[in-house]
Amino acid sequence: RASAARKAAKKALRRDKLCACALVLLGELEVDRGKNKAALAAWAKVPALDASLASEVYLKVEAAYAAIDRARDFEGFLRARIEKRPSDQGGILALAGDLGSRGDADLARMELKRLLDRSPANLEARLVLGRGLLAAGREEDIVSEYATLLDLLEASILATAQPSAPEGPANAEEFE
């Protein structure tokens, strides 16, 4: 079955070299065969082809780099991707996660701040930043980020609140 699926994915790619879904499938099938370099080669193409699959594929690319003992190269992959597409929020989050997991907390915070400067309402970035600040014991920064988060929540609630039509006087004496 896996062999037939691999052949089908390769056939799909012969017909359409830019088929991101076929590349994702091919990468998964290559990992099943123990071919981590081949999986990496397939998955590394996906973010440029289909931004909606990028965040999912970044996890796979990271695992493939680790499997071939080149975990440090994941950062370079992400930086190159972000350079080509600076608005790649998933790439920046993956980069911050990678930096944080290697102990580069200050660089991770810098990347998250850069993302939040462009997209202040990105709750996932705020979550990652908040957890990093908690882990580092940076209380002043935690309070500041929490205040910003409360402001964002308040703005979101106000933006979605529907004014209700008055149902009549709340107190009959008000109109006497």
pLDDT digits (tens, 9 = 90+) for 89-128: 999 999 999 999 888 999 999 999 999 999 998 999 999 9
pLDDT at 47 over 80: yes
What does the block give as tokens for 112? 């998250």
Model confidence, pTM = 0.80
C-alpha 71 chain-centroid distance: 18
- Residue 84's contacts (CB-CB under 8 Å, 6 or more residues apart) are 48
What are the two backbone dihedrals, phi and then psi, of residue 33, each rounded to the nearest 5 degrees?
Answer: -85, 0
Q: Could you tell me if 105 and 85 are in contact, meaning their C-beta atoms sit under 8 angstroms apart?
A: no
- Residue 41's contacts (CB-CB under 8 Å, 6 or more residues apart) are none
